[in-house]
Structure 1
């Protein structure tokens, strides 16, 4: 059900949302009521994006995890020699936050080991950013004289992850760029940030030095494209059922 408040209800909502949060919408419109209508549209379009991204995230991580397990074993994530420090920190954080069931005999949580924690548990609870990072070129591991470069292109991608994206053309950079765009969109929508001016891409600037932005149409296309790299038929279905295009057409 869409939020369709009356003019009086919009006026009541305004002070509850806060003036600073409404500032971008006020700047983009001609009246407080119009600003509130645009704000609520932003809420709706964020929710619509969240629907398609939720499925995309699950499809992505399962496809990647399947190929990593096939190449490196079920506990692939425990092989530290494969990863850079950034990835290791990500998996360590996930591991630390996994809650274990209570042992009825002792009344204490079960021991957290590779045997007691199913691989699927770590896969499901790792962040989207962690999966996107596995598609990057890789960073470094260790410190001082033990510091070494970790090349994901020649290890993770060529040995396993390229198989997760049969329709991508085989280039890691292609998949990483698309996945990074989806991550930027996901983070912005999840944190209720404005989407009315598109999706800012961290670290990217145009010729004038301004932060580069994706239009919402292009951002939606990138979500579907990421799924298409894995399965074209699912991407087609997702595009046909997504609420995003209609909302973009009906922006206040």
Structure 2
């Protein structure tokens, strides 16, 4: 509680209020990032499948028959397959895809794929503006992935630029599907209300 107390000038009750608020806003970001992760995963998996079919390759894109994926990505796929088998589920592409973590999908947007995978993946983001689209998307997803890792380890986030991360999430969802983004943000996202209710004045950067 040390950092919370320091922020609250030693007032233990205010520090506890801030601690509880941190838990609440963390949960709200977890909900939104979880929704975004599923949407991103489904989009990227769909584009990778379409690319695989267009190039008339055998098997599944997860087999990486052309050797286009980085060693780390291939290792993630192998681990996902082991998890599927460990759960005694059928080793289908859909089951493997559900076992791949956010980091796997994030790294498909990396600069190393800009001339190979990206031109096909871009088709999944019909509403992304600007000229350097890959870099803009990659930066936003990378920052959300970093935040998600903090949330997973129950680390404090009250002193992070949460308004910026909320904007990143809104942007990425909008790039994917503006209708789904509006539905989520208007009806289910709790982040904005919680940011307005923070019991202390937080840093913005």
Question: Are 2:158 and 1:196 equivalent residues in the alignment?
Answer: yes
SS at match of 1:154: coil
Mapped contact 2:85–2:91 kept (Cα < 8 A): no
Report the secondary structure of 2:154's partner residue. Answer: coil
Corresponding position: 1:56 with 2:16: no
TM-score normalised by structure 1 residue count: 0.71
Alpha-carbon distance between aligned partners in 1 of 2:123 and 2:140, rounded to the nearest angstrom? 17
Equivalent of residue 117 in structure 2, options 129, 151, 156: 156
- Structure with the higher fraction of residues in helix conformation: 2
User: Which blocks of at least 5 consecutive residues in structure 1 are unaligned?
Assistant: 1-21, 103-109, 111-115, 139-151, 199-214
Structure-2 separation of matches of 1:154 and 1:36: 50
* Alpha-carbon distance, 1:68 to partner: 0.4
| C-alpha distance in 2 between matches for 1:167 and 1:24 | 41
* Aligned Cα root-mean-square deviation (Å): 1.7
Q: CA deviation at 1:100?
A: 5.2
Q: 1:239 aligns with which of 176, 180, 185?
A: 185
1: CA distance, partners of 2:18 / 2:62: 44
Q: CA deviation at 1:190?
A: 2.1
Report the alpha carbon displacement of residue 63 of structure 1 after superposing the two structures with TM.
0.5
Give the CA deviation at 1:99.
3.0
Per-residue CA deviation, residues 205-234 of structure 1 (Å, 9 max, x unaligned), is xxxxxxxxxx11111110111111110111
C-alpha separation between the residues in 2 aligned to 1:23 and 1:188?
A: 18
Alpha-carbon distance between aligned partners in 2 of 1:32 and 1:131, rounded to the nearest angstrom: 41
For residues 70-109 of structure 1, what are the structure 2 equivalents within 5 Å?
70-73=50-53, 75-79=60-64, 81-99=67-85
**What does residue range 118-197 of structure 1 map to in structure 2 within 5 Å?**
118-138=92-112, 152-158=113-119, 160-169=120-129, 171-197=133-159
The alpha-carbon deviation at position 92 of structure 1 amounts to 1.9
2:12 and 2:115 mapped to 1: Cα distance? 55
Residue of structure 1 equivalent to 2:22:
42
Is 1:24 the counterpart of 2:3? The answer is: yes
What does the per-residue CA deviation read over 1:54-108, in whole Å, with 9 as the maximum and x for residues that have no partner?
1100000000000100111461011150111121122222222223566xxxxxx
Instruction: Pick 1 or 2: higher relative contact order, CA cutoff 8 A, min separation 6.
Output: 2
- Structure 2: any 5+ residue segments left out of the alignment? 54-58, 200-205
Listed as ranges, the matches of 1:213-224 within 5 Å are: 215-224=161-170
| Greater C-alpha radius of gyration | 1
- Paired with 1:221 and 1:239, the residues of 2 have a C-alpha distance of 11
Q: Is the 8 A contact 2:28 2:191 kept in 1?
A: yes
Q: May I ask how many residue pairs the two structures share in their alignment?
A: 189
SS at the partner of 2:115? helix
TM-score (norm 2): 0.86
